[in-house]
Every structure is written in C-alpha cells, then in structure tokens.
Amino acid sequence: MKGFSTEACNLSAMPLIGEYLSRMGLVDPLVMTLNNGRPERAGTVARELGADWTYFEKRDYVTGKVTTYEKEVSAKGRDIVVVDDIISTGTTIANRVASLKRQVARDVYVACTHPLLVDGAPYRLFEAGSKNIVGTNSIESPYSVISLAEIIASHI
C-alpha cells in the first residue's frame, strides 16, 4: 500500500513483573528462567528485586520433547521466582518447581508475560509446590494481576 508504514517495537513486561514481585516481601529471592537462550528475563526481574539470578538448562528437540536438566542452586530457605514469557501447559515449569522444593526452597513463585494456562496448568503448578502464579493481562486469566497499559502507552 503506497505511503503506508508501520513501526514495531519489542516490549518486555519483565520490569513490571519485577516491580510487582518487589512488593511481595520475598525472602532472599533468587530469580530463575527456563531458557538459557534468554537469560535477560531473569536478569531484568532480578534487578528490580535486588536479587541474584540463574537459569535452568533446557533443550528443545525436533520431536517436540523438551528436556530440562536438574540444576543445584542455593535454594534452601529462599524464595525462588521462576520467570518465562509464555506458560501454556506448565509441565516444564512444574518440574522445575518440584525440583526447587526438593532443594528446600522456602517458597516458589511462577511469573510470566502471557498466562495461557491450558490443560490444567494452574493445578499442575500448585501441585508441584508453587506458592503463586503471577501474569500480565496480555491474556486474561485469574492470575493476570499486572497491567500492560503503562508500558504500551509509553510506546505510542
């Protein structure tokens, strides 16, 4: 179309997620992400919390099978936040939550930008030991507690 142009920008909700979590009174928080290819997610949230961060090693295979490797972290007595961009079925994150609870984490919180939460994902996450699920309102769910309006409006 002649004369038509559009501009796109990549916005991140991670600063908003970190800000929200900073008001929750977390104890000695550690922020983790599932994807070692995008560690800035955990780093951004950790900066807002004044916390350390790390990631789980995860490999996606062409067959659709995802393998996430155990990782020993100093979780004992700490609140752990596991962040990701999208939570669909929550299976991979539930495995990580259970692993962190076995490492005697105080509480484990799950946070994401897009809470799809299909096929019983909330049940799976809570059953694994998650204390809470926090998401933005990019997709409405009972866990969509963070508004994206401010970050979207600042880029208009």
Residues forming the active site: 58
- Which H or E element spans position 81? strand 79-87
Contacts of 50 (CB under 8 A, 6+ apart): none
Burial classification of residue 109, based on how many CB atoms lie within 10 Å of its CB (0-12 exposed, 13-18 middle, 19 or more buried): buried
First to last CA, the chain: 22
Give the span between the Cα atoms of 11 and 136, in whole angstroms.
13
- Which H or E element spans position 151? helix 149-153
β-bridge partners, 138: none
Structure tokens at 75: 């979780």
SS3 (DSSP) at 31:
strand
